[in-house]
Structures are given as structure tokens and as C-alpha cells.
Amino acid sequence: MARSMHVRRPATLASLAAELGVSRTTVSNAYNRPDQLSPELRRRVLDTARRLGYPGPDPVARSLRTRKAGAVGLLLTENLSYAFRDPAAIGFLEGLALACEDAGTGLLLVPANPEREDVASVHRAGVDGFVVYSVPDDDPHLAAVLERPVPTVVCDQPDLGTVDRVGIDDRGAMYELAKHLISLGHRRVGVVCMRLARDRNDGFVTAERQHAAHFHVQRNRLSGLAEAFSEAGVDWSQVPVVERFDHNMASGASGAAQVLDKDPQITALICTSDVLALGAMTEAARRGLRVPHDLSVTGFDGIREAEAAALTTVRQPVLEKGRAAGKLLLDSSERTRPRSVNLATELIIGKTSAAPRGGAEERWFGP
């Protein structure tokens, strides 16, 4: 009798209880609250479970009842695998994973293909909260996350006022970097930046597009640059700014090429990420331009590869950012208002920035 129907239906708490002649509660307690029943009975329950091939309480059913999924979702609008290609993203993930393992929580990578407007993956994710990392502010996936009744923390996003946020002062950091270049004597510069919106635009960027950029991070870095150079008397609208949709070294190289073709006279090339900057360096080398003698190149992020290349850049604590995001999300203390955390950055003066050729003369004859 007991073994008939073999594996027709997998055993459940109820079938186990029936087999044993006890209540479902008791079986449940055998797994979750050993102190609620006698050791003998518990042993009997567990033994029969093994015999019947009962794998223990179903996690989904338990989640439904307890209203805890034991996982946090990570939304980053890129193909999922991008998370493992981009150095900064990897660092962020490591920090987030650190926070998760401390809390014994799982980390669910939510697929959010930026091409399709398919928000179903967000709706389908059984999680206790979301971390949103660097998506455009008009991303439908972000909107879908915000509609879900779970705590959320956004990273590298504008302060929404309704959810926790962690980020850095992109604008201020880039302003400082610009000041550094300006103090070296650079007045004629070019920029290569990451994508500014969901639509692909591999080319020059109008002032309007800069202002309307949907990627908070890029918008603020550009605005920091614009402010510093404007203060230094440079007409920002004349500065060539080139955008690249894909974020890799090849983009950095081709972006640099486009800027240098447009204005071969520039003395510094400012990239809004280290990856782009490293790509730009290869293009400079290809053209026989010596860095920093003929051309200064700067990045942003402070990834390991940049350090190895002695790149002038802004170091941001990507790992800490991830960890802070996780902590914010997992710290369930009751709070009335959303919190906003800004992490410190550090300007790293490497060996890829120096005074421009003839920069001294310019200053001698200048005002």
C-alpha cells in the first residue's frame, strides 16, 4: 500500500502526514521547529520522509506562506551576461554578493533585455527586494520594479525620493578631474562617453542630448566637465563629445578616433570610464601619439587595469557601492524616509596626464 503508485505524485507534507497518521502541522514542525514535538516522533517523521522520497517542504509554497523569498533581485539593464564582462559591474556585484552572503540571502540576476520592452521578468521574480544598478531613468524595467511592493535601492540613479539610493558625486568628481587638466594648461579637449540613452547613437552629441541624457551617471559627469571648462573660459558647446553605445575598449578606440579626426589639435581626451580610456590609449598608440606627451588621456572608475596602466582617473569604491546597496536593502530596520548614501571618490593622478605640448607658451602669452 505504502509503496503503490510509486512516484506517481511526489510526496507532500500532507501525504507524509497521512502516511504517518499525524497532522500536517506536526510534519511541518519536524522540519522547522524541532522543539515542538518529541524527538522520537520527529525521527519517525524524518525517516518516513526519506523512505517516501519527500525532499522537505517545498520552497515556493513556503515562500508564499511566510512571505519571504530569501533572495534579492538585481536589475541591471544590459544583457545579463554584461554583469560579468564589465570590470566595474563585477566589482559592484562582488560587493553586493558579500552583503548577501552575510545575510544568508540569495542573489537573483533578473534578465532584462534592453532591446525588448519585456517587463515580465521583473514581474516573475520572486524576491524580497530589488537592487537596481545603473539603468536609464526612463527604463520600463525600473518602472516595473518601483511598482512592486518590495523595498528597493537604486544605484547610480537620480534620487527618486521614494526609495533608498547609493551612489557617488559623479558631477563633483569629474569637476575635480577637469580642474586638474585645466591647471595643467589644457583648454582644447575632447570627450568620449558611454551611452546617454536607450537609443543607439554612435557619434557626436549635441548639447541638448547631453542635458537630456537618461543615464544619471553620464549626464552628471558631462555636466561636471562642462561646468569646469566653462569656468575656465572654454566654450563647452565647441568641445567635441562622442558617444558610444557599447561599453568596451573597441568603443573607446573608435570614439577616440572620431574625436581626433574632428579636431586633431586637442591636447586631452577625457573618457567617462576607464574601459573607454584604455581603448583610447590604444588608438593614440596606433596614431603614434605619445601619452601623455602628445595627448593626455583620463578615465573614470579606478579599475585594476587602469591602475596597471597608470591611468589618470577617478577611483570610485565599486565594491563598497555594491555592499552598501545590499546592506541598505537587507537592513530591515523600520525607517520612515528613504536614505541616500554618497560614497567618497578619489582623484588619481597617473602618468597619462601632463601639460600639453606648448601649454607653457600658451600660458606665457595668455591673460
**What letter would DSSP give residue 264?**
T
Q: What share of the chain is helix, strand, coil (3-state, %, to 5)?
A: 45, 15, 40
What does 343 interact with, of DNA, its own copies, none (CB < 5 to 8 A by kind)?
A: none
317 within 8 A of 344, measured Cβ to Cβ: yes
Give ∠ CA 195-201-207 in degrees, rounded to 5.
Answer: 80
Which is nearer to its own copies, 92 or 229 (by Cβ)? 92
What does 85 interact with, of its own copies, DNA, none (CB < 5 to 8 A by kind)?
A: its own copies
CB of 363 to its own copies, least distance (A): 40
> Alpha-carbon distance 241 to 225, whole Å?
11
CB of 146 to DNA, least distance (A): 17
Which is nearer to DNA, 12 or 340 (by Cβ)? 12
What does 254 interact with, of its own copies, DNA, none (CB < 5 to 8 A by kind)?
A: none
Which is nearer to its own copies, 125 or 217 (by Cβ)? 125
What does 350 interact with, of DNA, its own copies, none (CB < 5 to 8 A by kind)?
A: none
Which is nearer to DNA, 52 or 260 (by Cβ)? 52
Which is nearer to its own copies, 163 or 266 (by Cβ)? 163
Q: Which residues bind DNA (CB under 7 A)?
A: 9-10, 12-14, 21-26, 28-29, 31-32, 35-38, 41, 54, 56-58, 61-62, 64-67
What does 38 interact with, of its own copies, DNA, none (CB < 5 to 8 A by kind)?
A: DNA
**Alpha carbon distance, N-terminus to C-terminus of the chain:** 100
Which is nearer to DNA, 17 or 168 (by Cβ)? 17
CB of 127 to DNA, least distance (A): 15
- 206 Cβ neighbours under 8 A, 6+ residues apart: none
CB of 356 to its own copies, least distance (A): 31
CB of 177 to DNA, least distance (A): 48
- 200-203 contacts: CB < 8 A, separation 24 or more? 200/245, 201/243, 201/245, 202/243, 202/244, 202/245, 202/254, 203/242, 203/243, 203/258
* Bridging pattern class, strands 346-348 and 313-315: antiparallel
What does 244 interact with, of DNA, its own copies, none (CB < 5 to 8 A by kind)?
A: none
CB of 260 to its own copies, least distance (A): 26
CB of 122 to DNA, least distance (A): 14
What does 28 interact with, of its own copies, DNA, none (CB < 5 to 8 A by kind)?
A: DNA
CA 163: distance to chain centroid? 16
Q: Which residues bind its own copies (CB under 8 A)?
A: 10, 55-64, 69-71, 73, 79-81, 83-85, 90-91, 93-95, 97-98, 100-101, 104-111, 113, 118, 120-121, 123-126, 147-149
Closest CA to 339 of 154, 139, 137: 154
Please say whether the dihedral angle defined by the alpha carbons of residues 122, 99, 151 and 132, taken in this order, is positive or negative. Answer: negative
**What letter would DSSP give residue 310?**
T
Cell of 8: 506517481
Q: For residues 259, 115, 170 and 355, what is the CA-based torsion angle, rounded to 10 degrees?
A: -20
CB of 113 to its own copies, least distance (A): 7
Identify the H or E element spanning 46. helix 39-52
CB of 3 to DNA, least distance (A): 19
> Alpha-carbon distance 343 to 50, whole Å?
51
| E strand spans, 249-356 | 268-271, 296-298, 313-315, 340-343, 346-348
What does 110 interact with, of DNA, its own copies, none (CB < 5 to 8 A by kind)?
A: its own copies
Which is nearer to DNA, 43 or 304 (by Cβ)? 43
Which is nearer to its own copies, 34 or 59 (by Cβ)? 59
Which is nearer to its own copies, 64 or 207 (by Cβ)? 64
What does 162 interact with, of DNA, its own copies, none (CB < 5 to 8 A by kind)?
A: none
> Alpha-carbon distance 296 to 292, whole Å?
5
> Alpha-carbon distance 264 to 244, whole Å?
19
